Amino acid sequence: MKNRFKDLIKKVKSDEFYNNRGLANEVPFYIFDYNPKYELEVRDFVKKKLLPSLEDNERLKAIEIDMFELLLESMRNDNILDMAFEIEEKKGTKFLYEKLKKSFKTEIIMKYISEKTKGKNFLILTGVGKIFPIVRTHTVLNNLQNIFDHTKVLLFFPGEYTSTDLRLFGFEDNNYYRAFKI
């Protein structure tokens, strides 16, 4: 993993990455897939290496958004976080997941992401494994295309991306063709 991390920083800081060379007019969306057993190393890398390496970057204005933290922020803003614990205790985790799926809609997610990325041109998305199955990765990526045109997106994905399939924790998800494996 250490070599992949070093290569990723080098790639992200390159002129090729910044200028979207080699994308053939595709959206600048990238997926860094990894074995879920490295989740804690990846989180550490993003916080302690990747983000600090971009702090003084004149060209890339990066922001990390953890999808699970976004859900918690939304629940706090709606004053339902404490209630969620009670619902889970009384009716079970599956019931809570179904309720959260219905309330944490794609429009809400896109609104939060859009607000948080103002003035930024590089979104680093994490936490997709922590929020599964409430939010599906392909849904987020497909909808980000509607709000971003030149903003680069780098998704850290705990599973496998074959350039045609997203397999979170080995489970097949809907196809997603418009991202590049990095």
How confident is the model at residue 71, as a pLDDT?
93
- The residues, ordered by sequence, that sit 6+ positions from 148 with a Cβ below 8 Å of its Cβ are 27, 117, 123
The whole-chain average pLDDT of the chain stands at 89
How confident is the model at residue 24, as a pLDDT?
57
pLDDT bracket for residue 177 (50, 70, 90): low
Question: Are 159 and 123 a contacting pair, CB within 8 Å?
Answer: no
How confident is the model at residue 25, as a pLDDT?
60
Average pLDDT of the segment spanning 21-34 = 80
Query: Higher-confidence residue: 156 or 147?
Result: 156
- The residues, ordered by sequence, that sit 6+ positions from 159 with a Cβ below 8 Å of its Cβ are 33, 36, 129, 166, 167, 168, 169, 170, 171
pTM for the complete prediction? 0.90
Quick: pLDDT tens for 54-96: 999 999 999 999 999 999 999 999 998 899 999 999 999 999 9
Average pLDDT of the segment spanning 31-54 = 96
Spatial separation of the C-alpha atoms in residues 163 and 160, rounded to whole Å? 9
